[in-house]
Amino acid sequence: MSETAIDTRALVQWLIDGARDCPQPQDVLVALSEGLAAAGVPLSRAAVFVLTLHPLVAGRRLEWRPGQPVDIGELQYEVKSTPSFIDSPVVYIYENNKELRRRLGRPDCPMDFPILQGMRDEGITDYFAVPLRFTDEVHALVCATTAPDGFAGAHIDAIRSIVAPLARVAEIRALKRTATALLDTYVGHKTGNRVRAGSIRRGDTEAIRAAIWLSDMRGFTTLADREPPAAVMSVLNRYFDCQVPAISAHGGEVLKYIGDGVLAIFPVTEAVGPDAACAEALAAARDARAEIAKVAGLRFGLALHLGDVLYGNIGSGDRLDFTCIGPAVNLAARLEKVAARAGRDVIASAEFARHCGADLTPLGNLTLAGFHEPQPAFGLADER
């Protein structure tokens, strides 16, 4: 067949300019795929595969098909070790950093990857995968067609012309996503948003009111002395799994792990008043307590308090910690230390109880280290 070169200069320039009119990665893929199709490339599907730096997700796949929403899939870490993933064209691209083309419409096409037979059965006649080369990583772009004659040479050239600028756009978007994932993982989503917004200097703090959660594992010192480190880490992770999902589900945010302890806050905002913040913290406490009760030999002590804290950066030089400090945190810490003495898993301050007292029962005044006067304390009404 006669071939005419396909003009992709406008698409290339759009990518070089950062695809600014497309805020989401899937928007970029749609605009690019539709642009190639409009220019004359008979695309039946296009997909981008990008490995990620995330504690739960090893990679992402975005797949475009004409007239359909972009399908977004996540690659779980456990899938990376399965034969179907290992023996796939995408892994071939990752490992060999070179193009892969299979003309599935031809009877003599090598069917050397299991996924190819399924694509042939779907009517795909030509499969073209190319590396998306980031600065120090290789990812992949896959294009496929159902055109009877497959891709012509001009179509392949057109796809190749957009690969380098697409890689730059994809790398920038991936880096921003990685930064967000790392901040969410290590400092929490709300705190991460503050850091991304520019709160990165020592002394960048804000006075906020919040329900404070401070918990500790009972018997951790004995466990650490008795068990090997790997076993201790396994128990700790199981212990945190009982609490963190409950905290997040009720609008709280974990600020830090302190050995076997958890410091979290449920901020009071215009939308969430003190009554609501305390109610959510108490509901999270009940959920966490129920989960911990399911694990043999696992117990915890939890203190709940409502107070004003300084929320922001402390530390030295360029090594900072984003946390909350203040007398309210100190009171919560002292309360947690006497929870076991009071025979309670969950203990709350008078200020906290003032906002959700119907679910709490008085325990009397308790002597707390560092406080001149005994402090009133409350426990769950159904905990005996």
Residue 42 lies in a domain: yes
Tell which of 142, 161, 187 closes a domain. 187
Phi, psi of 226 (to 5 degrees): -90, -35
pTM, rounded to two decimals: 0.83
CA 99: distance to chain centroid?
31
Per-residue pLDDT band at 253 (split at 50, 70, 90): very high
The CATH number linked to 44 is 3.30.450.40
Averaged pLDDT score across all residues of the chain: 94
pLDDT at 198 (0 to 100): 85
Q: Do 152 and 210 belong together in one domain? A: no
Per-residue pLDDT band at 237 (split at 50, 70, 90): very high
Residue 4 lies in a domain: no
Q: Do 248 and 177 belong together in one domain? A: no
Mean pLDDT on 298-317: 94
| Residue 346 parent element (H or E) | strand 346-349
Answer whether 281's CB lies under 8 Å from 213's CB. Answer: yes
Helices marked H in 40-113 — which ranges?
Answer: 83-86, 89-96
Answer whether 369's CB lies under 8 Å from 337's CB. Answer: yes
**Alpha-carbon distance 189 to 191, whole Å?**
5
Answer whether 381's CB lies under 8 Å from 286's CB. Answer: no
Q: Do 153 and 298 belong together in one domain? A: no
For residue 168, the number of C-alpha atoms closer than 13 Å in the C-beta half-sphere is 12
Q: How many independent structural domains does the chain possess? A: 2
* Contact partners, residue 255, CB within 8 Å, separation at least 6: 187, 188, 191, 263, 264, 265, 322, 323, 324
Q: Do 248 and 374 belong together in one domain? A: yes
Q: pLDDT digits over 144-161, tens only?
A: 999 999 999 999 999 999
Exposure of 159 by Cβ count < 10 A (0-12 exposed, 13-18 middle, 19+ buried)?
A: buried
Q: pLDDT digits over 17-42, tens only?
A: 999 999 999 999 999 999 999 999 99
Q: In sequence order, what are the beta bridge partners of 130?
A: 141
Q: Do 263 and 317 belong together in one domain? A: yes
Answer whether 282's CB lies under 8 Å from 358's CB. Answer: no
Residue 192 lies in a domain: no
Sign of the four-CA dihedral 22, 27, 31, 36: positive
pLDDT at 1 (0 to 100): 43
Q: Do 265 and 170 belong together in one domain? A: no
Answer whether 306's CB lies under 8 Å from 351's CB. Answer: yes
Residue percentage of the chain with pLDDT more than 90: 80
Q: Do 182 and 206 belong together in one domain? A: no
| Helices and strands per DSSP (H, E), number in the chain | 12, 14
**Alpha-carbon distance 261 to 258, whole Å?**
5
Residue 147, token pair as written in the block: 């055109």
pLDDT at 38 (0 to 100): 97
Q: Do 220 and 297 belong together in one domain? A: yes
pLDDT exceeds cutoff 60 at 2: no
Per-residue pLDDT band at 384 (split at 50, 70, 90): low
Q: Whole domain around residue 309: which residue ranges?
A: 201-380
Per-residue pLDDT band at 169 (split at 50, 70, 90): very high
Sign of the four-CA dihedral 245, 250, 253, 259: negative
Residue 340 lies in a domain: yes
Q: Do 124 and 181 belong together in one domain? A: yes
Q: Do 175 and 231 belong together in one domain? A: no
* Contact partners, residue 176, CB within 8 Å, separation at least 6: none
Answer whether 312's CB lies under 8 Å from 245's CB. Answer: no
For residue 127, the number of C-alpha atoms closer than 13 Å in the C-beta half-sphere is 25
The residue type of 256 is: K
**Alpha-carbon distance 242 to 292, whole Å?**
6
Residue 3 lies in a domain: no
Residue 63, token pair as written in the block: 């797949």
Helices marked H in the chain — which ranges?
Answer: 9-16, 25-39, 83-86, 89-96, 114-121, 153-187, 189-196, 220-226, 229-249, 274-293, 327-338, 350-356
